[in-house]
Amino acid sequence: MTEAGETPRREPWRSNPVVRVAAYGGWGVGLAGLLAAGLLYGQAELARRTIPMAQEPPPRCDGRYGVEHEGPDIRLAVIGDSSAAGYGVERARDTTGALLAAGISERLGRPVDLRCHAFVGALSATLPRQVARALAHRPDLAIILIGANDVTHRVKVTVSASYLVDAVTTLREAGAKVVVCTCPDLGTIRPIRPPLRWLARKWSRELAAAQAVVAVQAGARAVSLGDLLGPRFATAPELFAPDGFHPSADGYVVATSAILPTAVAALTGVADEMPTAAGDGLRSLVDAAIEAADNPGTEVSAAVVAGHERGPAGRWAQLRHRVRQLTERPQDPTGAGSAVPLRVVGQHKDRTQPSTE
C-alpha cells in the first residue's frame, strides 16, 4: 500500500531475518482465520468512530532549547507520526520533540536546535518526504517514531521495513546519528476491544521487531515503546489524552524518558553508567528484536564480539533495558502548580518555551 504520488516499494527483506521476526507470533494468524470476518470488521468500524479524527495539528515545537548553555548547537530532527509530533497536548513544551530537546540539552550541557517534521496520520511511506526536509537542516541526530498507522492500515511488514531502512540509510549517509522508536503496542488502546485488540497487539509487535532488525542493520539504535503506557493505564488514566488513543502530556513524559538515554548515547557514543540489569547483554539481532518488542523501554544496538559483527545466529546485538531510567519530574518553574517532565529552557533561564531565534 502506498500513498498518492509515492513510488511502490521493493521488498528486499523477504529473504531477510525480518521475515523470521514477522512470524514469531504466528499463533495470531490461525486465530485470525478462526474469527468471523464480520466481527472484526464491525469492531474496526466501531474503533474508528470511537477514536476521533485530529481536529487541529499539535503545537509547533521548533526552536532552540537550552540557550544558556555554551557550545555549538546540537541539531535535532524528529520524524514520524502523531506521537512524534506530540498530538494530544496543548503546549509546545509537552511535545515529544520539546521534551527530547530539553533533556538532551540538560544532559550534554549544549543548546539544541530542534526541527520537527512529523505529522498526524503519517505512514512509513511518508518517510522519504520527511527525511528530505530533515536533511536541509543537517541534523546531528534524527529520532524516528513511526508504525502505528501502518498497523491500522495493514501495510505489509516488509513494505514498512523497506521505507524505514531507506530512511535510516539516507540519514546515516548524511552523517546523522539515528534512533528508531519502534511501533507501540496498539493492544493497549482502550477503544479497541478483544478480539481485535489481540490482533492489534500481535501486528504491532511483529512490526516493532522487524523495525528493530532493519534499524540496527542500517546503523541506527532502536528503542521499543511497546505497551509502555498500558500497565499504568488502569491506575493512571491521565497518561492518555481524552481520545484514549494518543498519550497525554504525562504519557509523553513516560515515553520520552525511555528514549532519552539512547538519544544521548547515540550522540556521544558512550553508554550510561547505570548498573547492568537482569536480562541485559548480547543476543543475536533477531532474538534481541523479538525480546525488545515484548519488553518496552529496551534498547537494541549493534555489537561486536571478538572482533566479529556476526555470530552463528547472525548479527550480534546488545540489549539494554532503559525503562528503569524513568525519573521523578521537577515542579513547574512557572509556579502554576502542575508538574512538568523536563524543564524546556528558552531565551531566558526562567522561560519554559523554546526560543525561535
Question: Where in the sequence numbering do the catalytic residues fall?
Answer: 82, 243, 246
CB 316 within 8 A of CB 305: yes
Question: How far lies 183's CA from each of 2, 62, 304, in Å?
Answer: 19, 24, 26
DSSP string covering 326-352 = --PPPBPTT-SS-B-SS----SSTT--
Separation CA 260–CA 240 (nearest Å): 20
Nearest to 298 by CA among 348, 227, 243: 227
DSSP string covering 258-289 = HHHHHHHHHHHS----PPPPTT-EEEEHHHHH
Residue 312 DSSP code: T
Classify strands 112-116 and 63-65 as parallel, antiparallel or unpaired: antiparallel
Which are the contacts of 343, defined by CB distance < 8 A and separation ≥ 6? Answer: 102, 106, 330, 333, 352
Backbone angle region of 89, left / alpha / beta, with phi > 0 → left and psi within -120 to 50 → alpha: beta
- Alpha helix stretches (DSSP H) within 110-156: 127-135, 148-152
Reported in sequence order, the residue ranges of 88-161 that DSSP labels E, i.e. its strands, are 112-116, 141-145
Separation CA 263–CA 269 (nearest Å): 10
